[in-house]
Chain A
Amino acid sequence: MTIDEIKIGGLGASRRRVEDNRFIRGAGNYVDDIVLPGMLHMEIVRSPLAHARIKSIDVTAAWAIPGVRLVLTGEMMAARNLAWMPTLSYDTQAVLATDKVRFQGQEVAAVIADDPYIAKDACEAIIVDYEPLPAIVNPTQAMAAGAPVIRDDKENQPDNVIFDWDVGDKDGTDRAFAAADVVSELELHYPRSHPSPIETCGSIADFDRSTSKLTVYMTTQAPHIIRAAVALVAELPEHMIRIVSPDLGGGFGNKVPVYPGYVVSILASILLERPVKWIEDKTGNLISTGFGRDVYLKGQLALRKDGKILGVRMQTESDHGAFFSDAQPSKFKIGLMHSAFACYDVPTAHLTSRGFYTNKAPGGVAYRCSFRVTEAMFFQERMVQAAADDLGIDQAEIRRLNFVRDDDFPHRTPFGFLTDSGQYGKCLEMGLEAIGYEDFLKQKEEAKKNGRLLGIGISTMTEPLGAGNSREYDILGIKMFDSAELRVHMTGKAILRTGAKSQGQGHETTWAQIVAHELGIPAEDIVVEEGDTDTAPFGMGTYASRSTPVAGAAVSMVSRKIRAKARKIAAHLLEVSEEDVEWELGRFFVRSAPDLGVTIQECANAAYSNIPDGMEPGLENNAYYDPPNLTWPFACYIATVEIDPLTGVWDVLNMVAVDDCGVRINPMIVEGQIMGGLTEAYAMASMQFITFDSEGNCVGSNYMDYLLPTAWETPGFELHEVVTPCPHHPIGAKGIGECATVGGPAAFVNAVMDALQGAGVRNIDMPLLPDRVYEGLTEGRDVSGAPPIRTDA
């Protein structure tokens, strides 16, 4: 009577997502669905200008509108020491502007009223007198001599430089370049994109004077970090703060930072002693909240004639907007950019990074980027392809030649990470086979004779997912471990809580599968709850693909603790000593008499009804898990495209993905993550960017300009898998949530650039809109996508 693990929804079961039942029925419970008695509504006045001094704010007319309960401006926030708040990167950010506005869309004032219509009317009645200042929309402008200093609020900030940081071995790298046969260079820009989750950000702050307790329902991927931040900013005692993150309509890193709207709604609720709801509109979300990327690269590879990479030089300039508010490990300034070239056996490398303030919305670390690994891998794969082209060698061959070999683990990457497992060559060969590489090269040559432009692009990479370990990874000093708490009830049903927070990834489904795997309790008997700081154990939340590597590991570990106690109970029930008890999925039995056994459910019952003498009753526990290392999934993405030479329009002919994310808990969910990621990769490569004109006006403030791909134009994807279990994760799993978004874009761009080979263009910045491709093709030079955009106006 051994249990079939797949049948109980254990490891490897493509179990349907339990949360979808309510999502598909429209019965999810999002922040905006929550209605509290006496609740008021808040709307925000945003700056129409990118850079301007505030001369005056007149709120008289707003106050005069019936139904208006409170009008807040920066000055009133300042009186309570709340005009500025700390960011997750040790900077400060304006809550409501006092002196200047520093980006278009910045929060200037807020109105709290009986309903959102009144609040919106009152916002329009607020008159702000601005004195415009010149706007800075890229790092080049930011560093120019005489550029206006954006952060003149800060002491010791004479210019617009946020940081100047480097990592790697400069001298060793210089030597490698001196000895190189060929140096291949590439300059490019990874444009600003936006995660744009379907649900925008929002909060309901509910301060109860009688208990002094503040409850905040909030769209956050990291409720515990928020609780700590609110305790610091609002100077409230932490035990009197309850953050509840209900169902989230997507996050993608957009819902990690602390936003002014949250803070203002909290203050408003404290002042008015009524619940205050703030729900951002789509434009507010696009123009003011955490974006992704906006990094410029100057990259160089030192190469031997045969394609062997001898050294890497990377210089990045990043545009962080008006405040340095990236949510990232505090030890690093430009996220994990230095994870570049981890899959290649490169002897030496050096990265210098400079970050700049500009008159744009703050952020940079978001959109499935795993702390800027998106940029790192895009740069890496574009540089590798450019090198192959420069040397005239095959793009697959240059990768084969440089990959870290399967027997070379653990491997120290050129920037100091330790990778621990992988079968890179196998993944690449599988991908080449699936796409029909050799055949396609022939087709491409044939097509060329008829004036048709075909191209193929490869992207291969291993990326660090699942921060921490806590030695190296913390945010604001809080170490990046995670946690799980499991309570098994008397009937063998259970509730599991973790410090992570699903925002669509399906934790309610997969966590139960891990418990099922460890304890043999059917997954459907386990309910998963996350997001309420009063009940969930402390954790750092969900982003950077860290849930399975960290919280998921904690789920395994807490299940094993439960099993250890259950074993003692089983020994008691079976009247044998613990050493004589054996475990098989869902059941303990006597080693010498396998028919004699008790199920995990019987042990659970005994934990409440027939406990051994001297043992604590109950069957519950928790686990805090600090992973020994990051996890290192590997991916190989290959795309083929055809370009219309008269319009620059390109179509994807085929796309193949080979992912090795170790052991797959729920293969269907893993495939969903990969397809979603590839769709976003295609979006960024083909259509998506938030750009700015020379006055700092955001082009991309709505979904007519900021494009999300639909099922119509998104290509089909063919998925393949390789499984190299993670050597240190309790069930051998690695992160997968971001692989395709990280590795995908380069496959598309490399394919288009391959089709343009011989036209004299080495780089076109994303998104590869038809006009850019046409320009590259016909004018035979690189096409930059750096803002400001060209306009006639």
Chain B
Amino acid sequence: MYPSRFSYEAPDTVEEAIELLRRGQGEAKVLAGGQSLLPMMKLRFASPGTLIDINNIPGLDYHRADSDGTYRIGALCRHAQLEKSPDLAASQPTMAAAAHTVADPIVRNRGTLVGSICHADPQGDWASVMISLGASVVAKGPTGVRSVAVADFVSGPFQTVLASDELAVEAVVPAPVGVRAGGYLKLERRVGDFATAGVAVSVEFSGSSVARAGIGLTGVGSSTINAAEAAAALVGGSLSETDIAAAAELAAAASRPRSDHRGSESYKRHIVATFVSRILTSLQLSTQEVA
């Protein structure tokens, strides 16, 4: 790997990192797992003047639930930690379904969920999962802390609203309003491939009726898609076949795929509809089993 010349900093605290970012004046980049940034630097698509490696900062590698059920994922929590977490499936079924579909085991050992959201690749899996859960990103800068919903955080392909002197410190999934269910389906050509199309569906049940729903779409637009209308079609109902069909159709309509070597536009839309309906049908089956 022969990237352009860059300088390297490895701060020990979040504050130091932010100060270094500020001094970098837009030329500095945070290095988390490096699984997106380093390939870009290798190809010289990215040529940051300074790399600010946050891996030495202690206490950022957590994922945990607060007592109220709010779920926090620290900036250095690796994909593999989530994948291997034994109790993630119980509280975060959508995340658990997605964790093992991200990249391959080697990448998952280094890459981070927060880094993936900051990278804002339209084919990144985590952003759609987080959107389906109504999650937000907590960003710290020289002037303070703010929280931005992931749906608003990603502003375009490889673009976010993060300021150049802000560090994303964690992602936060709000506590469910009822019983959480969900799934993630991804069409890939091979293990470790980015999604031809990916669908994240999260549903919160109050009794047998849907109190909240979210649908995020991977790889079928110039950025991650929040299929809000499709999700809204589910709220108040109890995942009837009609509701599921409506959501599937609306999600397909919300997607904006392009024809390329992975498939035509219409094929990708069809996959979105198929996956929305497959996930919802499986939730319907499991709730029926519970009932």
- Residues of chain A having any CB pair with chain B under 8 Å: 43, 116-117, 120-121, 124, 283, 646-649, 686-687, 691, 699, 702, 704-705, 707, 709-710, 712-713, 769-771, 774-775, 789-793
Q: Which of A124, A283, A775, A791 contacts B260 (CB 8 A)?
A: A791
Sample (13) of A-B pairs whose CB atoms are under 8 Å apart: A116-B2, A117-B5, A647-B271, A687-B189, A691-B261, A699-B261, A704-B193, A704-B194, A707-B193, A709-B190, A771-B196, A771-B262, A771-B263
Write out the residue numbers on chain A whose beta carbons fall within 8 Å of the beta carbon of B191: 710, 712-713
> Can you name the residue of chain B whose Cβ is closest to the Cβ of A648?
B267
- CB pair A124–B44 under 8 Å, yes or no, is yes
Complex alpha-carbon distance, A120 and B187, angstroms? 37
CA distance A414 to B187 in the complex (A): 45
Chain B residues closer than 8 Å to A774, beta-carbon distance: 267, 270
**CB distance A117 to B2 under 8 Å?**
yes
Per CB-CB distance, the 5 closest pairs between chain A and chain B, nearest first, are A771-B263, A712-B191, A120-B2, A771-B267, A792-B258
- A792–B259 contact, CB under 8 A? yes
Chain B residues within 8 Å of A710, by CB: 104, 190-192
In-complex Cβ contact of A769 among B44, B189, B194, B274 (8 A): B189
Which of chain A's residues have a CB closer than 8 A to the CB of B9? none
Q: Do A789 and B261 form a contact, CB below 8 Å, given A120-B2, A707-B190, A709-B190?
A: yes
Residues of B within 8 A of A649 (CB): 187
Cβ-based interface call for B4 (8 A):
yes
Measured CB to CB, the nearest residue on chain A to B265 is: A792
Contacts of A647 in B (CB 8 A): 187, 271, 274
Could you tell me the distance in whole angstroms from the C-beta of B41 to the nearest C-beta in chain A? 12
- Measured between alpha carbons, how far is A712 from B5 in the docked complex, in Å? 37
A interface footprint on B39-81 (CB within 8 Å = 1, 0 otherwise): 0000110000000000000000000000000000000000000
Return the CB mask of B256-279 against A: 1 if under 8 Å, else 0: 001111111101001100100000
Nearest CB in chain A: distance from B190 CB, A:
5
Residue on B nearest A701 in the bound complex, by CB: B43
Number of A-B contacts (CB under 8 A): 67
Other than A704-B193, A790-B260, A793-B258, give 20 A-B pairs with Cβ distance below 8 A.
A116-B2, A117-B2, A117-B5, A120-B2, A121-B5, A124-B44, A646-B274, A647-B187, A648-B267, A687-B189, A704-B194, A710-B104, A710-B192, A713-B191, A769-B262, A771-B264, A774-B267, A791-B259, A791-B260, A792-B259
A774 CA / B267 CA spacing, docked (Å): 8
Q: A705 to B188: give the CA distance in the assembly, Å.
A: 12
* Closest CB in chain A relative to B161 CB, distance in Å: 27
CB-based nearest A residue for B2: A120
Q: Smallest CB-CB separation from B4: which chain A residue?
A: A121
Q: Considering the complex, give the chain A residue whose CB is closest to the CB of B268.
A: A771
Per-residue CB contact flags for chain B residues 110-134 toward chain A (1 = under 8 Å, else 0) read 0000000000000000000000000
Are the CB atoms of B267 and A789 closer together than 8 Å?
A: no
Which B194-217 residues have C-beta < 8 A from chain A? Answer: 194, 196
Q: How far is the CA of A709 from the CA of B188 in the complex (A)?
A: 12
Which chain B residues in 1-28 approach chain A with CB under 8 Å?
2, 4-5
Q: In the docked arrangement, what's the CA distance between A283 and B44, Å? A: 13
The answer to whether B189 and A707 touch across the interface, beta carbons within 8 angstroms, is yes
> Which residues from chain A contact B44 at a C-beta distance below 8 Å?
120, 124
Would A791 and B267 be within 8 Å (CB), given that A124-B44, A647-B187 are in contact?
no
CB <8 Å contact, B263 and A769: yes
Name which residue of chain A comes closest to B185, CB basis.
A647
CB closest chain-B residue, reference A124: B44
Q: In the complex, A771→B259 CA distance in Å?
A: 11
A790 to B274 CA separation, bound complex (whole angstroms): 23
Complex Cα distance A549/B236, Å? 73
Segment 115-157 of B: residues with Cβ below 8 Å from A:
none
Decide: A770 near B190, CB < 8 A? Known: A117-B5, A790-B259. no
User: How long is the Cα–Cα vector from A769 to B189 in the complex, in angstroms?
Assistant: 7
Q: Which chain A positions have C-beta within 8 A of B271?
A: 647
Complex Cα gap A693–B61 (Å):
43
Q: Complex Cα distance A699/B260, Å? A: 10
In the assembled complex, the CB of A697 is this many whole angstroms from the nearest CB of chain B, namely: 11
B187 contacts A770, CB within 8 Å? yes
Q: How far is the CA of A769 from the CA of B190 in the complex (A)?
A: 10
State the Cβ distance, B3 to closest chain A Cβ, in Å.
8
A775 to B267: give the CA distance in the assembly, Å: 8
Give the distance in Å from the alpha carbon of A713 to the alpha carbon of B190 in the complex: 7
Please state if B192 and A775 are interface contacts (CB–CB under 8 Å).
no
**Assembly CA distance A466 to B192 (angstroms):** 37
From 160 to 206 in chain B, residues with beta carbon under 8 angstroms from any chain A beta carbon are 187, 189-194, 196
Across the interface, B264 reaches (CB within 8 A) one of A120, A691, A705, A790, namely A790
Q: Identify A687's interface contact among B190, B263, B267, CB under 8 A.
A: B190
What residues on B are CB-neighbors of A648 within 8 Å? 267
- Inter-chain contacts of A699 with B (CB < 8 A): 260-261
In the assembled complex, the Cα of A712 lies from the Cα of B192 at a distance in Å of: 10
Neighbouring B residues of A790 by C-beta, 8 Å: 259-260, 264
Return chain A residues, CB-CB under 8 Å to B43: 283, 702
Name the B residues within 8 Å of A712 (CB-CB).
Answer: 190-191
